[in-house]
Every structure is written in C-alpha cells, then in structure tokens.
C-alpha cells in the first residue's frame, strides 16, 4: 500500500467511493452512510470489540491483525481549566445520557462513555505512553 495523505476524511472517503484510491482508513461516522448504501465495503474496525454501528464488520483482531486493534480513535470534550467542575461532571454526563444524543452518537459509531475529567486525563496520558512505545519500537522518525 502507498500512503496518500488527505486533508480530512471527507475527501478520502469521496475518492474511495469514486475508485480513485483502493482503500481508506477512516472513522465510522465519516463512512457509515456509504457502507450502509453499499458504496463502500467495511473490511474491519479497530478496537477490541465490534462496533454497535457496524455489528457485522469484524475487528482487526478477528481478521488476524491484532496489533491494529489498539489503534482506535476517541473523542472527548475539553474545556478551559477554570470551567466549574459541576458543569463538567454533571452537565456533560447528563447530556451524554439523553436518549436522543446517545442514540445519534451510537448510530454514528461512537461508544458513549462519559466520566470525570480525571478519568479522561488518565486515558490521554495512557494513550501517549502507549503510542510513544509504538513509535520507539517501530523506529518511526519524523521526516
């Protein structure tokens, strides 16, 4: 495979649908409509479990590429440090529990988690440690 950099998922998915590139590695929310319509075929998803948005698509582990499974993406809400804690802990988690929000995010392929700022900070720190190790072990260098 040859890496073809794109300025976002939209152009990459569009070129994949058009046959300009053979495959793309993108998030479910950018490609699900094309998978559902039959314009794209999802080969595998990252993460350790199948996505509820694409339950018939195997994980990379299931297709024999377990190392790719740890490459899942995540989205989080960041706010200025002075943001009152009750807004983050209570209000954001309330929003994530709203049925219409939760349903829509799930439809787009997101696993809704919620939690505290400390839990999210730990997740970010752990991710940095993990990817630093991957980069070092693979000998990846910046050009």
pLDDT tens sequence across 76-117: 888 888 988 877 778 888 999 999 999 998 888 888 888 888
Overall size of the chain counted in residues = 143
Using a cut of 0.75, tell me whether the model's pTM lies above it: no
CATH number of 9-71: 3.40.190.10
SS3 45: strand
**Alpha-carbon gap, residue 88 to 46, rounded angstroms:** 28
Residue 75 pLDDT level (bands cut at 50, 70, 90):
confident
> Which stretches within the chain are classed as H helix?
9-17, 28-37, 85-86, 93-97, 99-107, 117-138
Q: What are the residue ranges spanned by the domains of the chain?
A: 9-71, 85-138
pLDDT tens sequence across 122-131: 988 998 998 8
């Amino acid at each position: 495979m040859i890496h073809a950099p794109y300025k976002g998922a939209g152009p990459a998915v569009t070129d994949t649908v058009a046959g300009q590139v053979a495959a793309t590695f993108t998030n479910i929310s950018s490609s699900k409509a094309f998978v559902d319509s039959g314009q794209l075929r999802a080969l595998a998803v990252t993460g350790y479990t199948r996505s509820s948005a694409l339950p018939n698509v195997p994980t990379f582990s299931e297709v024999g590429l377990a190392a790719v499974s740890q490459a899942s993406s995540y989205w989080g809400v960041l706010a200025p440090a002075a943001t009152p804690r009750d807004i983050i802990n209570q209000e954001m988690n309330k929003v994530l529990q709203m049925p219409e929000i939760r349903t829509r995010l799930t439809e787009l392929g997101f696993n809704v988690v919620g939690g505290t700022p400390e839990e999210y900070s730990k997740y970010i720190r752990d991710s940095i440690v993990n990817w630093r190790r991957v980069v070092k072990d693979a000998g990846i260098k910046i050009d």
